[in-house]
Amino acid sequence: MSRLLLCSAAAAGLFCGACQEPAPRLNAPPHGTTENASELQAAYRHMVDNALLTDMAVSDIHFVPQRALLNALGEERLARLASLLELYGGTIHFSSNLTDSKLIADRIDQVRNYLCEAGIDTTAEVVVPGLAGGRGMDAAQAVLIKAHEGTYVPKKGAGPGLGLMAPTPKSGP
């Protein structure tokens, strides 16, 4: 009897749980929109656009492996980048770890063609190879800056390092 009661309670719990409304989604399901969008989705869209404007990059992950064919992620990214390029202009950087220069050139051409079909003027250098934001800074340069600011003091006996001398502590108020 108790087993029947336990099974009935479990079945009732499953039925009650299935009748609830699904929670609003912050993101859309893959390749589409959701019918139950969260009110916060618009705010996050602006955050994503700001991040895309800062990055403006496409990489190997946006292509089918070993081919110059955009995958679904690449198409979605370029569709959004195209609308941002139309509004603000800029340059898209193509970053790749590949050594096949023909495949890299073909992928850059694929990005350029996609943008051209989206109505972006591609006569100027819209797509360039390399990392977005430049090469960055070497660790040695960062250590020199920190040592100069007085926020880094090399440990004694820590190895040859950069040959830096510890800065004198700043005095003052």
Taken as a whole, the chain contains a residue count of: 173
H helices of 19-167, where?
A: 41-55, 72-88, 101-117, 139-149
The overall average pLDDT reported for the chain is 78
**Exposure string over 89-98, b if 16+ CB within 10 A, otherwise e:** eeebbbebee
Between residues 73 and 154, which one has the greater pLDDT? 73
- So what's the pLDDT on residue 103? 96
- So what's the pLDDT on residue 170? 55
Give per-residue pLDDT as tens, 1-21: 677 666 676 666 666 655 666
- So what's the pLDDT on residue 98? 92
* Residue of 162, 108, 157, 147 lying closest to 130 (CA atoms): 108
Between residues 127 and 131, which one has the greater pLDDT? 127
Q: What residue ranges do the domains of the chain occupy?
A: 41-129, 137-167
